[in-house]
Structure 1
């Protein structure tokens, strides 16, 4: 019987393609940045840890240099671990380096392609970014100080009345500020069910994106076609999206209706309603634009303040020196305010050191991606490669920061730059820290965060002593500063602390300040603003 050549040709082609795939997938081309040895198909996937990835990435930087590559299945990941490489590529070439790699579970399934954080460098993303900038630019950020002052006073009151719940108080502070700025209403208690849903949902979202399944379907896209019983993470991602979209839509539609009937407290959603009329984007997209701000503002500031509390507990000499500065500048009869900032340089240094010592976006949150082939120092960075801003590795470089795991604010005593000015400094070595990202993807909330952190840190130092809690045998409980939570945004693992007012007089001032603010500014039943301090100049949609 004659052999059918018509059938032979596609078989030969398929076999040849498979053999080529076997011998090329997972291998590092010679002109790529260096990196650890690879194996066929997997590349470096088998070497990626499931916990504390930041430590391994920093270790590889020591071995392979500040710009190295990892081959992860069919994908390439370039890791930047120096201030110079971040400045040269993510900042100076931001037009090429502002895209995102494919994130199938996190973006397509769990976010419906709507999450601004994970969007590619598209027309839609640029429009969203422009709108967000109107809320969070430096002049707008200054106008939100009344919101920050009020929420800060409640946080201090809670530290007096329920000191063991200090993590919850810190989280409510940052969440209430963010909901007021974004939607026009505040979160009066930590037990607010929608705040609980936000933190729980984002925790589950971060956990989903840390799973092996999330990586595999990105590095081997053909696995996306697997049925859900073989890839249950697909079902989990879709379920998360349903719950999250429901939460964000409920917030957005409420703010939209209040904007249309003229009853809203001045906030970002007012502007978003006007933009929606002009641009015609959907309620789903509007919900995720505002929801992205909510999750970013609620999580990162609270994580840094929590790290600050741990630092004061572990480094009491720093705490004492800061309290001496606050007492000298402010005295004991009033709370610090934003007008004191220029005279509280050591407190500002503590803020910057907290961001460096315990960076919340430990690996730059979501990787950037390059939109076309680029050459850097003779190395090819291929089109569509993911690019990691290795924040931890840069912050822990002993050449940049001697003895990097020591909390030492003295590093910043001569640094008078704002966080945003430092990020924009053309000399990367003069940048204070990299927690807020780089290039066109830099966190737009940097101006608001700086004020929230300064007020939180200066007033806690003014009002309280932070010491180790005691165990059942009366021994101090000393947290391990190397134990961090995992995910896009990290913080110290939960720890106890003893937080007490520095004097009865300061305790009374804190209690009286909150009582007066509550009586004057808040509705006694709803605990929302009676009359918004930003009402002047409000425009209807």
Structure 2
């Protein structure tokens, strides 16, 4: 009987979709709809043609066939894929007031996030208030002041990477989460395996899974939200349960800082800044807790993923390891590179920028939504269209990136390439690079991430020698070029390699640098947030 009810309901839904969306709004005179892939089906449109994982690869295929703007429909909902930097900048940056909203994802935005997560909020007053807070915390002048913490955490990471290279994923994740934990809440992460860190990583994985296209039918057919929860809509229970977990964690972290502020023991942190300046940043407690939680989510996932791709690149293209060695040895010699050396390290900057181009962390981008009808280059986009800036294709635009599938940092260093800019003391730069998004939705933590992605590769290459691992017969083990995880933030699945110090002198220098940094660490705290409670104890150095 229940199955008959489901079939009947789906039939009603199908009719409702067809009636509601029909054939879509007709283009105004003189305009037309963008080209669309063939074989779209009635009602469901192109839904069956889009793979559930790595959809950006399919979008790139469509781009190669149809051009830089491609239209597709899913259950009557309009979508376009844009696949060049010019089109992305023209629409998402220059017309940002129209293209800065988000599609409302019933499962991810509503049930999981209770309409609090800034990443998924529409272009609204709540989003603007949260964005103002984020901008204040991450603008260039403030980002410069965070460099001592980035230096400290990168020394810890480098020390542990040399001690146990097999746990490279943990060390990169701990660097990223440790840095943001210091900034957001004024506390340290010692191992990367603390309960609250693992809980936030789970929250991040849940978000990536739930917000990925096609995972929950209710996001394509919002009418399904009216299904009774019992039997027919278990997604509602799942969403609410996970929301309680993440909101409880974010509130507990904020409450702990609030208690320290009241006791006069709080160190500098994003949370403290808000608690002491609520009039300047009028957010509710839940809104603020999600602002800081979102910064933590973004900071932990993207930087670590980029560094894992960097390690893959060095294994696959050892000639660029040699190029970085040559530059570092000439500029800094036997001392560890510092932030003031970055302007004299264009090759190091070019390599990490090419890593982000060749293997973008957010390959499919985070979709924008159009808030009013628009016409561009003769194409008509109706209000409500979801806009996918496909970074995978954008970073392979043949006009900007000749031979785009090839890893080639020279494209940022050699005047013969269209992406070359000078002076090399400033360029290549990650500022406003398309890997961080576009327009008013550009990654708010870009300035912090940029500094991390300059100092970590430089220090790893200064200290380490990375080569392919060997199998039982002594033959090289070559990891696959593209075996990446799914979700918003894609990173290479675990692979093997061999890592050792470039010299005994460098190994000892890393150990000494970490010992000195640990002694001077202003935050020597451990914390356990099980059940929303914390306990603190001074850690002896």
TM over 0.5, shorter chain: yes
Q: TM-score, normalised by structure 1?
A: 0.88
Aligned residue for 2:61?
59
Aligned residue for 1:136?
138
Aligned residue for 2:310?
308
Aligned residue for 1:513?
513
How big is each residue's C-alpha offset from its partner over 1:38-85, in whole Å with a ceiling of 9 and x where there is no partner? 221011112111222111000101111111111111211111101111
2:218 corresponds to 1:217: yes
Aligned residue for 1:323?
325
Aligned residue for 1:178?
180
Quote the Cα distance in structure 2 between the aligned partners of 1:130 and 1:68: 33
Aligned residue for 1:537?
none
Structure 2 vs 1, CA of residues 420 and 323 (structure 1 numbering), >3 Å: closer, same or farther?
A: closer
* Distance apart, 1:235 and its partner CA: 2.2
Q: How does 1:81-480 map to 2 (within 5 A)?
A: 81-210=83-212, 212-214=214-216, 216-228=217-229, 229-277=231-279, 281-332=283-334, 334-364=335-365, 366-413=366-413, 414-415=420-421, 416=424, 417=426, 422-423=431-432, 433-480=433-480
Structure 2 unaligned regions, length at least 5: 1-11, 414-419, 528-535
Aligned residue for 2:484?
484
Provide the secondary structure at the position in 2 that maps to 1:435: helix
* Distance apart, 1:232 and its partner CA: 2.8
* Distance apart, 1:199 and its partner CA: 1.3
* Distance apart, 1:231 and its partner CA: 3.4
* Distance apart, 1:324 and its partner CA: 0.8
Q: How does 1:9-20 map to 2 (within 5 A)?
A: 18=15
Q: Tell me how many residue pairs correspond in the alignment.
A: 505
* Distance apart, 1:205 and its partner CA: 2.2
Contact conserved, 1:24 with 1:40, CA < 8 A, in 2? no
Structure 2 vs 1, CA of residues 176 and 421 (structure 1 numbering), >3 Å: closer, same or farther?
A: closer
Contact conserved, 2:103 with 2:368, CA < 8 A, in 1? yes
* Distance apart, 1:521 and its partner CA: 2.5
How big is each residue's C-alpha offset from its partner over 1:341-363, in whole Å with a ceiling of 9 and x where there is no partner? 11111001011111111111111
Quote the Cα distance in structure 2 between the aligned partners of 1:499 and 1:398: 35
Quote the Cα distance in structure 1 between the aligned partners of 2:24 and 2:485: 32
Q: TM-score, normalised by structure 2?
A: 0.88
Quote the Cα distance in structure 1 between the aligned partners of 2:117 and 2:427: 28
How big is each residue's C-alpha offset from its partner over 1:353-402, in whole Å with a ceiling of 9 and x where there is no partner? 111111111111x2111110001111111111111111111112333212
CA RMSD, 1 decimal: 2.5
Provide the secondary structure at the position in 2 that maps to 1:68: strand
* Distance apart, 1:194 and its partner CA: 1.2
Provide the secondary structure at the position in 1 that maps to 2:388: strand
Quote the Cα distance in structure 2 between the aligned partners of 1:405 and 1:82: 15
Contact conserved, 1:182 with 1:290, CA < 8 A, in 2? yes
Quote the Cα distance in structure 2 between the aligned partners of 1:462 and 1:420: 20
Provide the secondary structure at the position in 2 that maps to 1:346: helix
